[in-house]
Amino acid sequence: MKNLLLTTAALFTLTTAAMAGGAHNQSHDDDHTGERKTIGSPASAGQETRTVEVAMFETDDGHMLFEPRSLDIKKGEIVLFNIVNKGELEHEFVLDTVGKNQEHKASMAKMPEMEHDDPNSVRLEAGETDQIVWNFTNGGTFEFACLIPGHYESGMHGDVLVADKLPTYTKGLIKRVTKKGKVTVKHGALVDLGMSAMTMVFRVADDEMLGMLSEGKEIEFLADRVKGKLTITKIK
């Protein structure tokens, strides 16, 4: 009887431990699945409805950048990202919400050797290429970023707008740039603002964007009224 009781107790302990372990793994998976559902879900090559070429590189003045620097994606599109590291350093491409990328970045700062194997991210050595296929099922503003310590701060991040109706970009020619954050642009019709083609002075949303502009450069841009002033808010 004593042996039977001991055997029964042992089996109960093992079963309880196994159940607890299973519950932990399920919860962990559910958490990550929930996070990914916020930005959509992984898809397979061949299912894509659009292909986007993404380059990662460093500049001579110390910046680290993605090209393109931002993306507008129609809700429901399945996008194949062809990602290439054209730089000399290791870089990564992580697609997530801004909040989750900040959490991930903080963790990376504590453990720079940490590397994840998730369907929404790739890490590439210089010259390497890889792909991500993503189904953008949900609208919102998300982010792609390199979260290796110091890289985000050097410019390696860009916003992703996912919406049913995307904004209309306008083509323009930069006629003049001033140090006061103003540019004169000869442009086509500003469709979203109901304005005809003409030459006008615009404010620029931030100094980083201002640094991308120079006299004689052709651009595709979005503009809006910010604090009552026509402002270039985004450059393709």
| Tens digits of residue pLDDT in 124-153 | 999 999 999 999 999 999 999 999 999 999
Average pLDDT over residues 93-109: 94
Query: What is the model's pLDDT at position 52?
Result: 97
β-pair partners for 62? none
Question: What is the pairing mode between strands 229-235 and 198-204?
Answer: parallel
**pLDDT value for 37:** 67
Q: Which residue has the tokens 């196994």?
A: 18
What is the predicted pLDDT for the residue at 11? 42
Q: 47-56, 81-90, 210-219 — which is least confidently predicted?
A: 210-219
What pLDDT score was predicted for residue 179? 77
Burial class of residue 190, CB neighbours in 10 A (0-12, 13-18, 19+)? buried
Domains of the chain in sequence order: 50-163 (2.60.40.420), 170-235 (2.40.50.320)
18 HSE (CA, 13 A, CB side): 6
Output the CA torsion sign for 209, 212, 216, 217: negative
